[in-house]
Amino acid sequence: MDKAEEYLGSHGKLYSLGAIVHNGSELRRLESEGLEVIDNAKFDALSGSSVLIRAHGEPPATYETASRNGIELIDCTCPVVLALQKKIRKAYAEVHPSCGQVVIFGKREHAEVNGLAGQVGGDVTIVQSVEDLDRLDYSRPIELFSQTTRDPEQYSEIVNAIRSRQPVALKVHDTICKQVRSRYEHLPEFAAAHSIVIFVAGRESSNGKVLFDLCRSVNPRTYSVNDPKQLDSGWFRDGDSVGVSGATSTPSRQLAEVAAALESLLAGS
């Protein structure tokens, strides 16, 4: 987002291939400054423009199109995702000659997963849950990866379920982002430490949905907002301890805005 704001400040116009962040209010703010979110069809038709690659990353085909059409790329792919892309290419090169299979635990059609699968021409198997594991061939070696923002406990369930089927060979790669893993580990403790939790995230954020549900499973008085205006004084009781948290796509600026609005709301109640 800093890169986008810096570019817009000096050029006034920038395309983003897909939403730069799964957060509606942040997108609207950036669009008012000149950011235009485009899809792959419009990207393919561009020439001589500047396009931001978001943190989710892109497959090699995107870079080939940019080179062919004279598009300047502002590449903001997350370093963790870049490292994962490299690992998948390496694993595929090693196991493909011996009929091995690359398996990714992730959300189908998610931008990051599309970029990961594209590293090897789509020759991967994507699993979203234990129910998908019947699609694997356990007589062939398996190289297992996770989308960087998935639930670590669900990934462990996938790993254990595969092992229980006694594959001929299984190599598990720990590819969940450390910041995401830390948030999954500490959020239940945070939720339990407060009588009410305000969770700040965009409705489009899949990571936000999962973390919100995790928080609410510990503290039923967990409410999701994307804007300070959505705060409801009726949620609060005298003596409440209020915690504010958010998704990986929630900027600290937005958390601070909600916290400030809460202080004002509670001071006037």
Q: How far apart are CA 10 and CA 118, in angstroms?
A: 33
Q: How far apart are CA 250 and CA 10, in angstroms?
A: 25
Element (H, E) at 52: strand 50-53
Q: Which residues contact 199 (CB under 8 A, 6 or more apart)?
A: 208, 211, 212, 215, 216, 222, 223, 224, 225, 245, 246, 247
Nearest to 220, CA basis, from 238, 200, 202, 199: 199
Q: What angle (nearest 5°) sits at the alpha carbon of residue 102, between those of residues 97 and 106?
A: 170
Q: How far apart are CA 172 and CA 158, in angstroms?
A: 10
Instruction: Please enumerate, as own/partner, the contacts of 2-10 that have beta carbons within 8 Å and a separation of 24 or more.
Output: 3/52, 3/74, 3/76, 4/30, 4/35, 4/52, 4/74, 4/76, 5/30, 5/33, 7/50, 7/52, 7/74, 8/33, 8/34, 8/35, 9/33
Q: Which residue out of 26, 58, 112, 143 is catalytically annotated?
A: 112
Residue 112 known to be catalytic: yes
Place of tokens 């962040």: 21
Q: What angle (nearest 5°) sits at the alpha carbon of residue 147, between those of residues 144 and 152?
A: 85
Q: Which residues are catalytic?
A: 112
